[in-house]
Amino acid sequence: MRSWMTSTMRLLVGSALGTIFGSALIAVDTITIVSSLPRTGSANAQTTSMVNGIKMALDEYQRTLTVGGTNYSLTYEDWDDASPERGAWDPAVEAANADKAIRNPDVMVYIGTYNSGAAKIAMPKLNQAGLAMISPANTWPGLTKPNVGEANEPTVYRPSGSINYFRVVPADDIQGAVGAAWAKELGAKRVFVLHDRELYGQGIAKMFQQNAEKLGLTVVGTEGIDGKSGNYKSLINKLRLARPDLVYFGGTTETGAGQLAKDMQSGGLTAKLMGPDAFYNSALINAAGNAALENRVFITFGGIPPEQQTGKGKAFVDAYRTVYKIEPEGYAIYAYECTKVALDAMVRAGKKDRAAILQALRETKNYDGALGKWSFDDNGDTTLALMSGNTVVNGAFSFVKLLGQ
Amino acid sequence: MTTTELIIQLLITGLANGLIIALIALGYTMVYGIIELINFAHGDVMMLGCFLALTIVGLCGGEQLSPWIALPLLFLTVPFFTAGLNWSVEKLAYKPIREAPKLTALVSAIGVSFVFINIGMFWGGLPMDVFGGGGSAASAKSFPDLFGWSNLLGEQSAVLLTPRDVMVAAVTIPLMIGLTFFINRTRMGTAMRAVAQNPTAAKLMGIDVDRVIGLTFIIGGALAGVASVITALYTGSIHFQMGYRNGMDAFTAAVLGGIGNLPGAVLGALLIGLVRAVMEGYVPNGGQWSNTVVFALLILVLVFRPNGILGSRVREKV
């Protein structure tokens, strides 16, 4: 009698507990999205804006997602891939981030990186693990395209043999070409090409140079410079000797773009300064001041600037302004698009499964997003090729024209 | 541009950069001469001086500020601040461990350097217009152009000599002459040389060693303050990590010339300035090798003259 009572009670209590925990487990099942972007150093303002973009995408879904009839709560983790020692992205931190994402079974998408050099570290790891990676900002062509970068690119990033890396920005081969064409349009005949000796800067400088030569511009010199130098006054002397009418700098705001603009002005060099998308952040205006930039600096950017957006892009920019009371930086909309296309792929995959989501991303066709209607091609690149040309007026970026049409 | 013009141009840029390095190097070498400590925080004291200078300019109207008001204002306040800062560092971080092994003080200096770098980053994030509203604390900050861009040799001249280049020379050279006079001719200077030679004997002769050390840090800090104003005006931008790079150049200059030796530090700094000017301003693709050449030169000098260029000839330190 007594033993019967006990076992019945045990059964009751057990089933009650089972119900409680069971339902709790269903309620807390999550899909996690992580981003690995530089949070330490001068790229941080850009990163904050990109993270805001990601959060806005998630908030549009109220942070829940129905995948194959099951409700999941969406969680997001904002990881730093920079270290204080370097003041910029750090290979060791990026590698640790990739490993951490792989180990967490809830992580379905890895958004990053900002720097192409950092992508090189994370790509093979995530590829091996079959985890999707989408970058809002990497522009080094070799990450996805054969025959434009190093000889072993991009196969070295794909140890599993299939593609897991996608990007929503046009790569630098396109940017270099539109930059050179724009330089010619601006009346440049003699160009001096500088780069910061980093993967991104040197790569885009090379693309610019090749295209400039193809268009009949004279390249009067090329030079790798020290991105951490205190000033470039001596370098300006060399530039003056070569008498260029346009200087192209394959570099970033973190590697001396602002100081270069400043020293070109103080050194009496009237040549125009042209730079790639990594110039397109408020830190450049902070570093060089308006006088050194106004109608002197020309920036190609892989897409349309916030104030020129129309349709869904404009809706994003307006919403961003309302929520954060500040203008979005150039890459915010790309981070937003990354997140949106990832969520779209999860719904299409129909289950919380890395392989299924990856397959759905590969099949993304005619996605109608904030950047317009675009697809991922077989390399994982966006089919978008439209860029914009910008300058600085009155201490703010100012759109000049669309490029690459 | 003829060869002569080219040489003159390289000399102007090289000497201007060299003189700035020299001002910072003097602070390193004086402190080393007195207490044999490499004060790694010195470059960062100079960096904080730059941030104060920008803050003052920002509070007084930014670009609209006349240089005739700005210069006296900056040259009075910033060196005062950095001198006080350097003095406090000595009292708080070095004096309590003066009797400990040399390595302890060195680690302490590196710690102070990190603290200052972080203060600089925080400072750059203050919500002021000159800091870009504080939106990106870590980015470089433009320093308003108080001088204009005229060429003093006329707009047609191939050689460019700006008011900035003149200002660098006009401030640093008299300062160095004054410092030399102070060390060699005054009572306090004699006391400093005495402490440098032998602190114990100096103490026995009735010299207040603590006061002399404190004064050394004050002078070194004030020189760093002058260097910050000049650097900010000359390069036109400041950054929280600039102390490291400037400090490294200055330290190299001090070792090159013979650490502890004042004329040596100036000589080393001018040499570094000129080597960089030639590498960056003339040698094709030389910019990326300028550091290599500077440090190769340092190694070469140290192999043949382990005490630096002037280090062994002048036995007295300070």
Q: How confident is the model over B77-100, as pLDDT tens digits?
A: 999 999 999 999 999 999 999 889
Chain B residues close to A231, C-beta within 8 Å: 17, 234-236
**Nearest chain A CA: its distance from B213 CA (Å):** 31
Q: Which helix (H) or strand (E) holds A166?
A: strand A165-167
Please give the C-alpha separations between residue A212 and each of A88, A249, B8, B171, B204, in angstroms, as whole numbers. 31, 13, 34, 45, 75
Chain B residues close to A282, C-beta within 8 Å: 132, 135-136, 139
Q: Is residue A13 part of a domain?
A: no
Buried b / exposed e along B22-55 (16+ C-beta atoms within 10 A): bbbbbbbbbbbbbbebbbbbbbbbbbbbbbbbbb
Please give the C-alpha separations between residue B227 and each of A192, A262, B23, in angstroms, as whole numbers. 33, 20, 6
Q: Is residue A233 part of a domain?
A: yes
User: Distance between CA A287 and CA A297 in Å, rounded?
Assistant: 13
Same domain membership, residue A157 and residue A40:
yes
Q: How confident is the model at residue B314 (pLDDT cuts 50, 70, 90)?
A: very low
Same domain membership, residue A111 and residue A79:
yes
**Nearest chain A CA: its distance from B6 CA (Å):** 8
User: Distance between CA A169 and CA A228 in Å, rounded?
Assistant: 27
Does the complex come out with an ipTM higher than 0.85? yes
Rounding to the nearest 10 degrees, give the CA dihedral for residues A135, A140, A141, A143: -60
Give B84's contacts (C-beta < 8 A, 6+ positions apart): B218, B221
Q: Is residue A123 part of a domain?
A: yes
Q: Is residue A78 part of a domain?
A: yes
- As to burial, measured by CB atoms within 10 angstroms (0-12 exposed, 13-18 middle, 19+ buried), residue A186 is middle
B241/A286 Cβ within 8 A: no
**Nearest chain B CA: its distance from A84 CA (Å):** 10
Please give the C-alpha separations between residue B235 and each of A250, B22, B167, in angstroms, as whole numbers. 21, 16, 13
Give the tokens for residue A386. Answer: 């439209």
What count of CB pairs under 8 Å joins A to B? 141
Give the tokens for residue A125. Answer: 């790891």
Q: What is the pLDDT of residues A64-76, one digit of tens each?
A: 999 988 999 999 9
Q: Which residue has the tokens 């010199």?
A: A221
Give the tokens for residue A307. Answer: 């104030």
Mean pLDDT for chain B overall: 91
B136/A286 Cβ within 8 A: yes
Chain B residues close to A292, C-beta within 8 Å: 142, 236
Q: If DSSP codes are grouped into helix, strand and coil, which group holds residue B50?
A: helix
User: Distance between CA B176 and CA A36 in Å, rounded?
Assistant: 50
Nearest CA in chain A to B139: A42
Q: How many domains does chain A have?
A: 2
Same domain membership, residue A159 and residue A196:
no
- Rounded average pLDDT over B167-190: 94
Same domain membership, residue A177 and residue A297:
yes
Write the residue in A230, A285, A286 that is nearest to B235 by C-beta: A230
User: Distance between CA B212 and CA B187 in Å, rounded?
Assistant: 11
Nearest CA in chain A to B238: A287
Q: If DSSP codes are grouped into helix, strand and coil, which group holds residue A74?
A: strand
Residue A211: predicted pLDDT:
94
Q: Which residue has the tokens 């390095």?
A: B21
The percentage of residues in chain B with a pLDDT greater than 70, rounded to a whole number, is 97
Chain A residues close to B230, C-beta within 8 Å: none
For strands A246-250 and A190-195, give the pairing: parallel
Write the residue in A42, A224, A282 that is nearest to B138 by C-beta: A42
For residue B31, pLDDT over 60 is answered with: yes
User: Distance between CA A270 and CA B133 in Å, rounded?
Assistant: 29
What number of other Cβ atoms are within 10 A of residue A189's Cβ?
Answer: 13
User: Distance between CA B303 and CA B294 in Å, rounded?
Assistant: 14
Give A257's contacts (C-beta < 8 A, 6+ positions apart): A249, A251, A275, A278, A279, A284, A287, A288
* Cβ atoms B132, B54 nearer than 8 A: no
**Nearest chain A CA: its distance from B10 CA (Å):** 7
Domain span including residue A288: 172-301+388-403
Q: Which of residues 134-193 of A touch B (CB under 8 A)?
A: none
The beta strands (E) that lie in A302-395 are given as 367-369, 372-374, 387-393
What φ, ψ does residue B142 adopt, rounded to 5°?
-75, 135
Same domain membership, residue A59 and residue A164:
yes
User: Distance between CA A115 and CA A291 in Å, rounded?
Assistant: 29
B145/A287 Cβ within 8 A: no
Q: Is residue A193 part of a domain?
A: yes
Residue B68: predicted pLDDT:
87
Q: Which of B21, B57, B136 to mutate to test the interface with A (most CBs of A within 10 A)?
A: B136
- As to burial, measured by CB atoms within 10 angstroms (0-12 exposed, 13-18 middle, 19+ buried), residue B293 is middle
B287/A226 Cβ within 8 A: yes
Chain B residues close to A195, C-beta within 8 Å: none
Chain B residues close to A40, C-beta within 8 Å: 138
For residue B313, pLDDT over 70 is answered with: no
Q: What is the pLDDT of residues B180-209, one digit of tens each?
A: 999 999 999 999 999 998 999 999 999 999
Q: What is the pLDDT of residues B229-245, one digit of tens each?
A: 999 999 999 999 999 98
Write the residue in A235, A265, A282 that is nearest to B132 by C-beta: A282
- CATH code: domain of residue A82: 3.40.50.2300
B234/A283 Cβ within 8 A: no
For strands A132-135 and A165-167, give the pairing: parallel
Residue numbers in chain A where pLDDT is lower than 70: 1-28, 405
* Cβ atoms B46, B227 nearer than 8 A: yes
Same domain membership, residue A40 and residue A150:
yes
Same domain membership, residue A71 and residue A163:
yes
Chain B residues close to A326, C-beta within 8 Å: 135
User: Distance between CA A208 and CA B285 in Å, rounded?
Assistant: 18
Tally of residues, chain A: 405
Residue A22: predicted pLDDT:
47
Write the residue in B14, B141, B291 that is nearest to A226 by C-beta: B291
* Cβ atoms B74, B235 nearer than 8 A: no
Residue A372: predicted pLDDT:
86
Same domain membership, residue A335 and residue A352:
yes
Chain A residues close to B275, C-beta within 8 Å: none
DSSP string, B251-304: HHHHHHH-TT-HHHHHHHHHHHHHHHHHHHHTSTTGGGGHHHHHHHHHHHHHHH
Please give the C-alpha separations between residue A134 and each of A218, A278, A362, A382, B155, in angstroms, as whole numbers. 38, 18, 11, 11, 52
Q: What is the pLDDT of residues B108-157, one digit of tens each?
A: 999 999 999 999 999 998 888 888 777 677 889 999 988 877 888 888 88
**Nearest chain B CA: its distance from A233 CA (Å):** 7
Instruction: Report domain extents, chain B.
Output: 10-123+161-243
Closest to B26 (Cα-Cα) out of B265, B308, B299, B280: B265
Residue A90: predicted pLDDT:
93
Q: Which residue has the tokens 């001396």?
A: A256
Q: Is residue A23 part of a domain?
A: no
Write the residue in A42, A229, A234 that is nearest to B277 by C-beta: A234
A205 touches chain B (CB under 8 A): no
Same domain membership, residue A83 and residue A229:
no
Region for residue A384 given its phi and psi (left: phi exceeds 0; alpha: psi -120 to 50; beta: otherwise)? beta
Chain A residues close to B284, C-beta within 8 Å: 221, 223
Same domain membership, residue A56 and residue A93:
yes
Same domain membership, residue A269 and residue A289:
yes
Residue B317: predicted pLDDT:
52
B235/A267 Cβ within 8 A: no
* Cβ atoms B2, B157 nearer than 8 A: no
Buried b / exposed e along B68-95 (16+ C-beta atoms within 10 A): eebbebbbebbbbbbbebbbebbeebbb
Same domain membership, residue A232 and residue A208:
yes
